Amino acid sequence: MKFLKLDRSVMRNFGMTEKNRVITVRTNILSIIINLYRNKVPNIPSLVVFGINDSSCSELIAGNVYRKQVDYPKIFKLRLINKPYILYKTLQASLLKRLLKILADNNKEDELTFLIFNGSLSPDNIFDSIKTNHRRVYIENGFFPNTLQIDCCGVNAANSLPRDAGYYLNLPNYGVQDLPTKVQVRKLKLSYPFIQLPDDYIFFPFQIPSDQQIRVHSRWIKTMDDFMDLIISFAAKYPDKNFVIKEHPSFKQSIVGKYPPRKNILFANGNSTEDLIKNARLVITLNSTVGMEALLFGKPVITLADACYNVDGLVRHADDTKKLDEFIMDEGWLPDERLRIQFLGYIWNQYLFHGYFNNLPSDTLLKIEDIVKCRQDA
């Protein structure tokens, strides 16, 4: 089996020990044009002219444009910056789509597998726009340190993890000793002070506002401003409850000070996420990995978006304020303990790939082949 991947820096080490099995496609426009020329594609100048305004690529690059506008609002509100970026990404997507189709057609479907990083943003999402039956494997950060998701269906909320509690309960029994012992430590992009927390609080971990997990998989809460408005409304309704927020450590723009202060809303950006989880009465998240980490510590979790751990009995899912209100008031609920251990045991021992982008095992490609074969046999 051979593999085809793009020249993403994060994917650099896939195939380092078996370079003859991995085709790496360079994605800058000049390299794509050269590759098209080598494959004897006619009328390349015409393809470039057409590609700049290829409307079929609008949806492919929509997530990239949205991310830039959210992450760098002052810069990408300028037409002088935004328009050239859109033209570049459109042309890149149009030409790369043609090239990947050619490379796919040159290899039998059962002999070539696409290795895709995440798959939600261009250029990686271009693989899914190609009409071909070649196998696809999606790769993304795992839920715990030094792990990856490697999945034939997708990653995060789109992955292949069963959402049926019965699946996990019918597996051979796992024990506490079979669970992970550490959670991710996320480095802060900005410096914040440590704050003293109340004895009883609900923890709200924020996500990166431009996260595709929100854009694609959150049907109710679409932005962190929506999330904040929701918290403010509940803080006003329940002045005796404490609401603790931690913004995502990787996001450089804070909303602290953007909203009028309330005594029962606290920002704990300088506190460790692990401590915030351990000391919380309840964790409410959209679909953050923090929800998975909260399960590791036996905490009740409410999700507001599609998440791969949305399993009845494991977490509670609220898709409107009425349901959320009901769950918040039900203070005695806890995840089913056996289901929690079975789910996390399966995640840790069966689902997650142990290794990371910068320290892949030498037999990584063989393990990916096994994942593909297991998927075919399922």
Question: Per residue in 304-351, pLDDT tens?
Answer: 999 999 999 999 999 999 999 999 999 999 999 999 999 999 999 999
The answer to whether the beta carbons of residues 317 and 284 sit under 8 Å apart is: no
Share of residues in the chain with pLDDT > 90 (%):
88
The answer to whether the beta carbons of residues 126 and 346 sit under 8 Å apart is: no
Domain with 344, as residue range(s), is: 166-350
What's at 85, amino acid-wise?
Y
Other beta carbons within 10 angstroms of residue 12's beta carbon come to: 14
Q: What is the mean pLDDT of residues 182-208?
A: 90
Q: With cut-offs at 50, 70 and 90, classify the pLDDT of residue 53.
A: very high
Nearest residue to 23 via CA among 8, 3, 38: 3
Asked if residue 366 is part of any domain, the answer here is: no
Asked if residue 373 is part of any domain, the answer here is: no
Q: What is the mean pLDDT of residues 189-198?
A: 87
Helices (H), the chain: 29-38, 44-52, 58-71, 73-76, 79-105, 165-169, 212-217, 224-237, 273-278, 289-296, 321-329, 337-346, 364-377
Residue at token pair 């408005």: 229
Q: What is the mean pLDDT of residues 109-133?
A: 96
Domain count, the chain: 2
Backbone angles phi, psi at 320, to 5 degrees: -165, 170
Does residue 331 share a domain with residue 196? yes
Other beta carbons within 10 angstroms of residue 257's beta carbon come to: 8
Does residue 339 share a domain with residue 296? yes
Asked if residue 290 is part of any domain, the answer here is: yes
Does residue 127 share a domain with residue 247? no
Nearest residue to 288 via CA among 248, 326, 253, 251: 248
Does residue 313 share a domain with residue 184? yes
> Domain end: 133, 158, 190, which one?
133
CA dihedral 183, 188, 192, 195 (to 10 degrees): 0
Does residue 293 share a domain with residue 211? yes
- State pLDDT tens for residues 216-274: 999 999 999 999 999 999 999 999 999 999 999 888 788 888 899 999 999 999 999 99
Does residue 175 share a domain with residue 128? no
Within a 13 Å sphere around the CA of 220, how many CA atoms are in the beta-carbon half? Answer: 18
Q: What is the mean pLDDT of residues 166-187?
A: 93
Q: Check residue 136 and give its pLDDT.
A: 97
The answer to whether the beta carbons of residues 353 and 148 sit under 8 Å apart is: yes
Share of residues in the chain with pLDDT > 70 (%):
99
Three-state SS for 243? Answer: strand
Does residue 90 share a domain with residue 16? yes
What's at 56, amino acid-wise?
S
Q: Is the pLDDT of residue 194 over 80?
A: yes
Q: Is the pLDDT of residue 42 over 80?
A: yes
Encoded tokens for 128: 């899914």
Three-state SS for 155? Answer: coil
Does residue 173 share a domain with residue 128? no
Q: Check residue 15 and give its pLDDT.
A: 84
Q: Is the pLDDT of residue 186 over 90?
A: no
Does residue 199 share a domain with residue 264? yes
Asked if residue 372 is part of any domain, the answer here is: no
- State pLDDT tens for residues 70-99: 989 999 989 999 999 999 999 999 999 999
The CATH number assigned to the domain holding 275 equals 3.40.50.2000
Instruction: Report how far residue 360's alpha carbon sits from residue 65's, in angstroms, rounded to the nearest whole number.
Output: 31
Separation of first and last alpha carbons in the chain: 19
- State pLDDT tens for residues 133-148: 999 999 999 999 999 9
Q: For residue 222, what are the CA distances in angstroms to 157, 209, 217, 270?
A: 15, 9, 9, 25
Q: Check residue 378 and give its pLDDT.
A: 62
Does residue 118 share a domain with residue 77? yes
Average pLDDT of the chain is 95
Q: Check residue 257 and give its pLDDT.
A: 87
> Domain end: 80, 108, 133, which one?
133
Three-state SS for 71? Answer: helix
More confident residue, 58 or 16: 58
Does residue 191 share a domain with residue 117? no
Asked if residue 129 is part of any domain, the answer here is: yes
Does residue 125 share a domain with residue 195? no
Asked if residue 357 is part of any domain, the answer here is: no
Contacts 24+ apart (CB under 8 A), 14-21: 14/115, 14/139, 14/360, 14/364, 14/365, 15/365, 16/360, 17/362, 18/365, 21/365
Asked if residue 146 is part of any domain, the answer here is: no
Q: Check residue 16 and give its pLDDT.
A: 82
Q: What is the mean pLDDT of residues 107-134?
A: 96
Nearest residue to 366 via CA among 12, 25, 4, 15: 15
- State pLDDT tens for residues 269-311: 999 999 999 999 999 999 999 999 999 999 999 999 999 999 9
Asked if residue 149 is part of any domain, the answer here is: no
Instruction: Report how far residue 211's alpha carbon sits from residue 223's, in angstroms, rounded to the nearest whole number.
Output: 9
More confident residue, 50 or 209: 50
Instruction: Report how far residue 185's alpha carbon sits from residue 77's, in angstroms, rounded to the nearest whole number.
Output: 33
Residue at token pair 């971990």: 205
